Amino acid sequence: MEKSAKIYIAGHRGMVGSAILRKLQQEGYSNFVLRTSKELDLRNQADVFRFFEEEKPEYVFLAAAKVGGIVANNTYRADFLYENLMIQNNVIHAAHVADVKKLMFLGSSCIYPKMAPQPLREDYLLTGSLEPTNEPYAIAKIAGIKMCESYRRQYGRNFISVMPTNLYGPNDNYDLQNSHVLPALIRKFHEAKVQGQPSVEVWGTGSPLREFLHADDLADACYFLMQEYDGEEFVNIGTGEDLSIKDLALLIKDIVGFDGELIWNTSKPDGTPRKLMDVSKLHHLGWRHRIELPEGIRQVYEKFVEHEDIRVL
């Protein structure tokens, strides 16, 4: 991407989009076209087409999505399917009509079958049944992958897709009902510490294995791939390392400095037993993560404590 290129980041205020924006600014890019969700409703086709026609961005990072944790995914199934399909359908097709040079679509590791072999290779897509709790979201993301693939095959568009693993970082969501496990645990342990509570409830059994990537590492990988990769097949982005939810909880407990007990609420769902990304393709292309999990959680927790606008107490 030329330093003067006009770049549109859909979802620039979210955790992923804001990380991509920071990365591009660090690399010397400044010609951004940005819209908040109030300024541009990506679910509205007419508005999206008008925006692309007027602004004519050259490069697009499609990081906008309706996202949430396991309970939110399972509760708002219709919303997650409809809104994500509308967002990506509108942006991808408008990018085609506006002759965008290159588009990157960001998906999710939940696209893989629930019982797929581990680690998850890119060619495992559509080889089995999905995890029921987040099936609508996964189906939307799979549709996005196939849209990019199909616009490439039919129209020759340079639309690429990347599949990040579980993410954490600045601008994360700390709402206990709709957040992902890592930020939820940070908030739970912090509140328990501040309030002097004797214990903290953690959902599930603690046995599922999960992989976590810092949003700044994801942004670095996205920038790298936008520069270096033009292939049809989507690319996994992760660390290639995982740990159990129990070990994650103990790590966060230690970093936060909470001295109480853990109580496991086994009535809550565990979700997929394991979701470890095979990142051999990404490593072969020449990119590896830099921020290790303990260091990353410490950074995030420091920001959580510092900023009242991030905290939801």
Q: Catalytic site residue 137?
A: yes
Q: Is 16 annotated as contributing to ligand binding? A: yes
Q: Is 156 annotated as contributing to ligand binding? A: no
Q: Is 242 annotated as contributing to ligand binding? A: no
Strand-pairing partners, residue 312, are: none
Q: Is 107 annotated as contributing to ligand binding? A: yes
State the angle between helix axes of 135-155 and 77-97 in degrees (0 to 180), rounded to the nearest 10: 10
The H or E element spanning position 2 is none
Q: Is 144 annotated as contributing to ligand binding? A: no
Instruction: Identify how many contiguous H helices and E strands the chain contains and give both numbers.
Output: 10, 13
The H or E element spanning position 208 is none
Interacting residues of 267 by C-beta distance below 8 A, sequence separation 6+: none
Q: CA–CA separation, 230 vs 6, rounded Å?
A: 19
The H or E element spanning position 243 is strand 243-244
Q: Is 259 annotated as contributing to ligand binding? A: no
The single-letter DSSP state of residue 110 is G
Under 8 Å between Cβ of 104 and 160? yes
Q: Is 175 annotated as contributing to ligand binding? A: no
Q: Is 129 annotated as contributing to ligand binding? A: no
CB atoms under 10 Å from CB of 172, counted, come to: 21
Q: CA–CA separation, 191 vs 197, rounded Å?
A: 8
Q: Is 14 annotated as contributing to ligand binding? A: yes
Q: Is 166 annotated as contributing to ligand binding? A: yes
* Catalytic member of 59, 112, 137, 223: 137
Question: Known binding site for NADP(+): residues?
Answer: 11-17, 106-109, 141, 164-167, 180
Question: Known binding site for substrate: residues?
Answer: 188, 203, 210, 270
Question: Known binding site: residues?
Answer: 11-17, 106-109, 141, 164-167, 180, 188, 203, 210, 270
> Which residues are marked as active site?
137
